[in-house]
A and B are shown apart, each in its own frame.
Chain A
Amino acid sequence: MATKPKAAAKGRAGRKTPAKTAPKRASSKSKSIANDDIGEDTRLALWRSLLEIRHVEQRAYDLFLQNLIKGTSHLALGHEAVAAGFATAMNKDDWSFCTYRGHHHTLARGASMEGVLGELMGRECGLLQGKGGSMHLTSVEHGAMGSYAIIGAHLPIAMGAAWTSQYKNTGQVSVCFFGDGTTNIGAFHEALNMAAVWKLPVVFVCENNLYMEYTPIHDVTAVHNPAGDRAASYGLPKIVIDGNDADEVYRTAQAAFAKARAGDGPSLIECLTYRHSGHSRADPGDYRPPGELEAWLKKDPVPRYRERLAEFGIAQDVIDGMDAEVLAQVDAATEISKASPPPGLELIDVDVWADGGTSWRN
């Protein structure tokens, strides 16, 4: 069994106030937020995003245990800051692409909780009406352009989307999230090279959680930083950051997006982070050395950010209030999903083609 992150438990224990707490201005005692480049509104947006991911993923885990979520599922517990940081820095019309471990990125772009949980549960209210499942969460209306379950495939695809925005000069940026294991597959290199040659507005984000699946990435990779040490091959600067610090992620994203929108081409960013649970539902993560998880839990992005907010003088009841509010939303989304019927069988025969049908003959 995967260890339940303490932060989540703590978050729940700290739930005191009812939902709908309005953010309050920081007190005079706070760190100098006025000079801060991020600002309170953005920080609270990051906090909300972190909480949404944490609570939805935690709920997904609980629903597995109740056998309400079938199939496989790859939780992003521990990766929240990467998703929250980048999504918060994105414009609404930017495009993001992620992997089968993509619940967090989809939620961070604004997809509804019942859309995510319902899809995991195979219900009609799911984002894909049950036709995609956990590994393919997509919400085009939110710019979440798909979760791709074959390692490497979506790097060239994200690069292609960036070609559209370059061709049409729209200023849109494509952001592509992938794991450390992806850096060893050919498509990674093809996409990086072509994006660099064509100077495309695409940002490649490696979530280095130290394990390609079960095998430590260092055991199978020629360089220390699987993404960062490859950047030079494509004429790009090496960027390796603390992926568990939402502020650092946010700032790095902003810089990369500015570069992309200025027509200066792609970026490759390696975010160091850690998976609190196993690779997938079936994996207890026994291969991890003793103490490693504990060490990383001290850097858990959610409690870290809770402290960050306090440092910057955000009132405790605001911090806790948002936590409770999000949890209540997750509860409500869970009930909506449970109540949602299974998808109608008529869905089997729709949407292979643009005409809505599936016919291959006359």
Chain B
Amino acid sequence: MAELTYREAVAAAIAQEMRRDDDVVFLGEDIGKAGGVFKATVGLFKEFGPVRVRDTPISEQAILGAAMGSAMTGLKPIAEIMFSDFLAVCWDIVANEIAKARYMTGGQMSMPLVIRTANGGGSRFGAQHSQSVENWAMMIPGLKVVAPSSPADVKGLLAAAIRDPDPVMFFEQKSLYPIKGEVPDGEYVDELGTAKVLRDGGDVTVVALAAMVPRALKAAEELSAKHGIEATVVDVRSLVPLDTQTILREVSKTGRLVTVEENPRLCGWGAEIASIVADEIFWDLDGPIMRITTPHIPLPAADALEDATMPSAERIVREIVENID
């Protein structure tokens, strides 16, 4: 085990996969010589050179088009979209092309590619550089959607995404880049479509994703210490495929579901989970389902405003204390 930051785990996973498979290539804006605007890809250009680690112009459609065209003809590209907000300028390639090609052609095409992107708020960047847009991807049939919360998960899940034969949207929460954690040494590959139970508690099941996971864990400790409420915390990790079995099992145990979502309220992934839980284990529910989300607003920039809008550990504690008995 080595202690890596979340950002170092990104480069570690890419390097691990590029070493073992020459078909893996990497492209994006400022990813090569500059090492990425978030310094998440430092060292890759030096090790693998400009043919495999390609700096691109500011052309998101060209980046993702190149990823798709190369994936369908035999490469395994990793494309970086610097901020997930920018997916909006190349969403045609994601939603209409990459996601649909296999199905529409009766299985003639394969799309083994990964789109990495820095997602989410907490960095005071304002509404166009802070969105939590994993739900956009989750809505499109044909995309796998992953959002890790720890350095170990970054390495294991990104490696799994690169090896996966289907297109994977890999959402890195930018405020997590500096966090540190133990990461397995050597070749490490996790499994897509698996949620993780990070804490066991008997009173309420908190289901969280990405940056909301450490906040949910902090909240759970406070709930236990100050309020006698024991929370199970489930890290969803992968929205598609969705590990519903783990979620349903953990919600059945406590009878209570709280989702903690960074996204604005409407159509967040938590709504889908709430719907699945209500459909399938309604009779195990021992109280209303609760969703804790960012309000349905564009994220404001000032630290005071941003901190007040994104779900914090304090808010998670407060809402659970007020609503969960």
Q: Does B106 lie within 8 Å of A351, measured CB to CB?
A: yes
| Chain A 147-204 interface residues, beta-carbon cutoff 8 Å to B | 148-150, 152-165, 167-168, 174, 186-187, 190-191, 193-194, 197-198
Residues on A with beta carbons closer than 8 Å to the beta carbon of B67 = 160
Contacting residues, chain A, for B166 (C-beta < 8 A): 353-354
Q: How far is the CB of A336 from chain B (nearest CB, A)?
A: 18
Does A21 reach chain B (CB closer than 8 Å)? no
Contacts of A150 in B (CB 8 A): 92, 96-97
The bracket for how many chain A residues form the interface is 35 or more
Q: Given A132-B104, A140-B109, A161 and B72 touching (CB < 8 A)?
A: yes
Q: Is A352 an interface residue (CB 8 A)?
A: yes
Is A194 touching B72 in the complex (CB atoms < 8 A)? no
Complex: A360 Cα to B109 Cα, angstroms: 19
Q: Cβ of B276: which chain A residues have Cβ within 8 Å of it? A: 361
A102 at the interface (CB under 8 A from B): no
Q: Nearest chain-B residue to A141 (Cβ)?
A: B108
- Closest Cβ of chain A to B86, distance in Å, is 13
Question: Whole-angstrom distance from the CB of B97 to the nearest CB of chain A?
Answer: 5
Tell whether, in the assembled complex, residue A157 and residue B65 are in contact, meaning their CB atoms are under 8 Å apart. Answer: yes
Whether a CB of chain B sits under 8 angstroms from the CB of A145 is yes
Smallest Cβ-Cβ distance to A356: which chain B residue: B107
Q: Which residues of B contact A131 (CB under 8 A)?
A: 103-106
The answer, yes or no, to whether A86 is at the interface (CB within 8 Å) is: no
**Chain B 89-116 interface residues, beta-carbon cutoff 8 Å to A:** 92-93, 96-97, 101-110, 112
Instruction: Give the complex CA separation of A139 and B103 in angstroms.
Output: 14
Contact: B65 with A146, CB < 8 Å? no
A182 to B166 CA separation, bound complex (whole angstroms)? 29
Contact A187 B65, beta carbon cutoff 8 Å: yes
- Decide: A156 and B62 in contact? CB cutoff 8 A: yes
Chain B contacts for A350, CB-based, 8 A: 107
Distance from B142 Cβ to chain A, minimum over Cβ atoms (Å): 5
Task: Report which residue of B51, B61, B77, B245 has the largest number of chain A beta carbons within 10 angstroms of its beta carbon.
Answer: B61
Contacts of B60 in A (CB 8 A): 190
Q: CA separation between A362 and B65, bound complex, in Å?
A: 31
26 contacts between A and B (CB under 8 A): A131-B104, A140-B108, A141-B108, A150-B92, A152-B61, A153-B61, A153-B92, A154-B65, A154-B97, A155-B65, A156-B63, A156-B64, A156-B69, A157-B69, A160-B66, A160-B71, A161-B69, A168-B74, A194-B56, A194-B57, A352-B103, A352-B141, A354-B112, A360-B141, A361-B241, A362-B242
A residues with a Cβ closer than 8 A to B are 95, 127-129, 131-132, 136, 138-141, 145-146, 148-150, 152-165, 167-168, 174, 186-187, 190-191, 193-194, 197-198, 347, 350-356, 358-362
Instruction: List chain B positions with a Cβ less than 8 A from chain A.
Output: 25, 51, 54, 56-57, 59-75, 77, 92-93, 96-97, 101-110, 112, 141-142, 164-166, 193, 240-245, 276
